[in-house]
Structure 1
Amino acid sequence: MNYIIREIKEEEYPILSDFLYEAIFIPESMEKPPKAIIEQSELQVYIADFGKEDDWCLVAEVKGKIVGAVWGRIMNDYGHIDDETPSLAISLYGEYRHLGIGTALMKAILHLLKEKGYKQTSLSVQKENYAVNMYQKIGFKVVSETEEEYIMVCELQ
């Protein structure tokens, strides 16, 4: 599949709410929650007032349509490590998953963050999420865990 990866444009920031919703991992045995769930403060931290210093976002575009996004910011989220480490979120629309686009987005944001001078980046992922393997393949390592989630860090050397 042909796609391009580029920085998000300011007028496209509202689409992050769609990708935040898409980023919610739902095990097969569960129903998707209502979209209003993203209004909860622990999820709004990922997108509220996006566009400040230390906010970075890349999107994947297919035939002029944004189909995926990866973004990071320094925030006190589930994957928070410290106040110098951006936490990442990534998602794609369902029909664009398992095509290598997510891996390409992750590699591109890691490169961007390294260029910007960050030493590491982090994320939180549910243990059941198939993306755990992809994160490990591109260099993320588990640094802590809860019963349901891993906190993973990637050194940007």
Structure 2
Amino acid sequence: MKVSEYPLLKDFLYQAIYQPDTTNLALKSIINKPELQVYIKDFGKQEDDYCFCAEVDNRIVGAVWVRNINGYGSIDEDTVEFAISVFNEYQKMGIGTALMNRMLEHLKELNYPKASLAVQKGNYAVRMYQKVGFEIACKNEQEYIMIHRLGYEND
């Protein structure tokens, strides 16, 4: 993702919020909550900020990004956390899987030991995350915290 495209992360963050009831969507201002802003605020200024996009007909339709933050899927201070979203009309076409695999490949090249994410239990993306190698590390009432071990851990 180009620096000039970083403002698009607001749209992708909103899209990433699991909202099973499409007749009662949250207001877009929900992304201004501090617990969500950690995913995008000042993106590109931290050492561990990386983002890849998917384009269709010269339009960015999906994004995957990682940061080392204290987010919903944080497991420790050394592990980057994934965020991903693909616009509705482009979902279930393999774009999300391709984005995830590209980011995992990038993190492996950089010798990251693991990555994490949080996902609502009812989100169909759970299966996709498992397919690309994420495993459920823990869970609470609403969500799973998943980890992908990238192969460089010493523990």
State if a TM-score over 0.5 links the two structures: yes
Which residue of structure 1 aligns with residue 16 of structure 2? 23
**CA distance in structure 1 between the aligned counterparts of 2:110 and 2:10, rounded to whole angstroms:** 25
Q: 1:12 to 1:149 in 2, by over 3 A?
A: same
Q: Which of 28, 36, 48 is 1:35 aligned to?
A: 28
Q: Which of 57, 72, 88 is 1:63 aligned to?
A: 57
1:145 aligned partner, one-letter code: K
Supply the RMSD in Å over aligned alpha carbons: 0.9
Offset at residue 81 of structure 1 (A): 0.9
Offset at residue 12 of structure 1 (A): 0.6
**CA distance in structure 2 between the aligned counterparts of 1:142 and 1:112, rounded to whole angstroms:** 22
* Residue 134, structure 1, aligned to residue 128, structure 2: yes
Higher relative contact order (CA 8 A, sep 6+): 1
Unpaired segments ≥5 residues, structure 2: none
1:68 aligned partner, one-letter code: G
Which residue of structure 2 aligns with residue 93 of structure 1? 87
The sequence identity of aligned pairs, in percent, is 55
**CA distance in structure 2 between the aligned counterparts of 1:71 and 1:35, rounded to whole angstroms:** 20
Total equivalences in the alignment: 150
Alignment of 1:48-127 (within 5 A): 48-52=41-45, 53-127=47-121
**CA distance in structure 2 between the aligned counterparts of 1:143 and 1:30, rounded to whole angstroms:** 32
**CA distance in structure 1 between the aligned counterparts of 2:98 and 2:86, rounded to whole angstroms:** 12
Superposed CA offset, 1:54-84 (max 9, x none): 1000000111100000000000000001111
Alignment of 1:140-151 (within 5 A): 140-151=134-145
